[in-house]
Chain A
């Protein structure tokens, strides 16, 4: 396609403006995180103060909170992804009574905001003695990830070539073998994208850990940040450093997986 020089210049201008809009707040936080904590601080390294990260890390007890976050996220992702693969496989490749109604129920689940379930969940789990445990924080989020995951995996299994399944079945492979030895390996991008999404949502969730762990035992990193803010609000540099610490694990995961992740998003998002 031939385009004029002006058009190309305009394209690059748009790219740069949008990228700048996306990056500016992130750069602001990074700059604040490396700024001196007070006017009387030492000059630092090249005028930067990476020691803020160390101070925030120790004062905010972030090692503990990040461990909790990791535990919760890994629990949620592993359970939700396996359950979603199984249910997506059923919806995508089998015919059975009530499949439509059940699938719509899962679709409804995608639209239910956390706020709508958190109140009764808190009281019911409390009566079961489960608040302040991993399960109170993880199970509601597993349910939310399953809602989306079922929809997502069904879309993938529906587009998997029927001839593949037919051939394998004729060779006497059980549905279980078809799923785990043929379909899942081929569907790695779809599973990968679901894993990254579920991990991101869980890592970033605020309301559920806030409510489900009132004694702070299962406080996750975003919560620790909000509490840190209440304690060190005038130390902008420390707060910014803490924000960077909380965001970092997800950003690293995203950058690491972004190529296949975005491709999975593009392929899987719109297929009905």
Chain B
């Protein structure tokens, strides 16, 4: 637009910028500041420099928590992406009826509150809950576990909840991207005698790069802010085998009176999300941005 007054854009920006700056950017800066102090949240505080950050590397529980977060990314992001790609590619090859209904149904887990999801899955994973009952019904008694009290299986069990929530979102995104690929491309490939697999790698996959980046961005953030899921299902247990940074932030800040340490974890978590997203977008763009 030409002939506009110079300050006009800033007027339009002002409400958003004030609210966003005051209640997101400013608290984030305060978090960085808090993370340099030791404070119990009740009395006086003490400046300790980078001690809280050193603790991220020296404290075994915290190191484990960040490790668990990375495992959860596999379940929240990578697994839904693989499943979504396969399903979307197959569905995209043929006109099936009921695709609209299917989209609505698979997206449904996305819209439920994580607390509701956690309550549901906690019942499914209970020792005589739905999952074990189903396993016994088909004679797989050997596979029954106490899913939320097992050092090997609890973290994957929590992860599968994430897979359940995110797969629909990823599938719907990818279906949309593939739907935009001109049909002629596929026709031509078939005439050239390309099979389904080659068609997928030559045409389908490159054309949904952007969607993959968006899907990964959304699901990685979701994987790293799993506070409510862990809070309701396991409380970080058994032992510390399912504790995650988001849960540690809450515990330290509001239960144990280690506010500085909580802020340091939160800042580190933000940095990790940021770096992962930069990497994802670089790969998706396939060029130097």
Partner of B19, one of A15, A79, A229, A251: A79
The reply to whether A114 and B277 form a contact with Cβ atoms under 8 Å apart is no
Interface of chain A: mostly helix, strand, loop or mixed:
helix
Asked if A255 CB lies within 8 Å of chain B CBs, one says yes
- Separation of A265 and B227 alpha carbons in the complex (Å): 26
A83 and B113 within 8 A (CB) = no
With A25-B124, A83-B19 known as contacts, the answer to whether A239 contacts B90 (CB < 8 A) is no
Chain B residues with Cβ under 8 A from A140's Cβ? Answer: 23-24, 27
Asked if A86 meets B12 with Cβ closer than 8 Å, knowing A116-B267, A229-B119, A250-B113, the reply is yes
Q: Which residues of chain B from 98 to 114 have any CB-CB distance to chain A below 8 Å in the complex? A: 98-100, 102-109, 111-114
Of A175, A236, A246, A262, which one neighbours B123 at CB under 8 angstroms? A236
Q: Residue of A at shortest CB range from B126?
A: A236
CB of A130 to closest CB in B, whole Å:
11
- The chain B residue with its CB closest to the CB of A17 is B87
- CB-CB under 8 A from A203, the residues of chain B are 113
Verify if A90 is at the interface (C-beta below 8 Å from B).
yes
A130-161 to B contact mask, C-beta < 8 Å, 1/0:
00000000011011101101100000000000
A270 & B19 in contact (Cβ 8 Å cutoff): no
Q: A interface, how many residues as a size bin?
A: 35 or more
Residues in B neighbouring A19, C-beta threshold 8 A: 102, 105-106
The answer to whether A175 and B270 touch across the interface, beta carbons within 8 angstroms, is no
Q: Which of A1, A105, A207, A251 touches B227 (beta carbons < 8 Å)? A: A207
List the A side residues contacting B171 at CB < 8 Å.
18
Q: Which chain B residues (142-177) contact chain A, with CB distance < 8 Å?
A: 164, 167-168, 171-173, 176-177
**Judging by beta carbons under 8 Å apart, are A23 and B105 in contact?**
yes
Q: Does A42 contact B (CB under 8 A)?
A: no
Which B residues between 69 and 124 are near A, CB-CB below 8 angstroms? 87, 90-91, 93-96, 98-100, 102-109, 111-117, 119-121, 123-124
**Smallest CB gap from A247: residue in B:** B116
Q: Are A117 and B27 in contact (CB under 8 A)?
A: yes
Does A84 belong to the interface (CB within 8 Å)?
Answer: yes
**A200 surroundings in chain B (CB, below 8 A):** 111
Residues B119 and A109 in contact, CB atoms below 8 Å apart: no
Whether B1 lies near A93 (C-beta < 8 A) is yes
Does A71 belong to the interface (CB within 8 Å)?
no
- Residues of B in contact with A (beta carbons under 8 Å apart): 1-4, 6, 8-10, 12-13, 15-17, 19-20, 22-25, 27-28, 30-31, 33-34, 41, 87, 90-91, 93-96, 98-100, 102-109, 111-117, 119-121, 123-124, 130, 164, 167-168, 171-173, 176-177, 179, 183, 186-187, 210-211, 214, 217, 221, 224-225, 227-228, 231-232, 245-246, 249-250, 253-254, 259, 262-263, 265-267, 269-270, 273-274, 277
Considering the complex of A and B, which 7 residue pairs feature the smallest CB-CB distances, nearest first? Answer: A120-B30, A266-B176, A87-B16, A204-B113, A143-B23, A90-B12, A117-B27
Selected A-B contacts with CB under 8 Å, 29 pairs = A3-B94, A18-B167, A19-B105, A22-B168, A25-B109, A25-B121, A25-B124, A87-B15, A94-B12, A96-B9, A109-B20, A111-B274, A116-B270, A118-B249, A118-B266, A119-B259, A122-B253, A143-B19, A169-B2, A200-B111, A211-B250, A229-B119, A239-B119, A240-B120, A240-B123, A247-B116, A269-B211, A270-B177, A270-B211
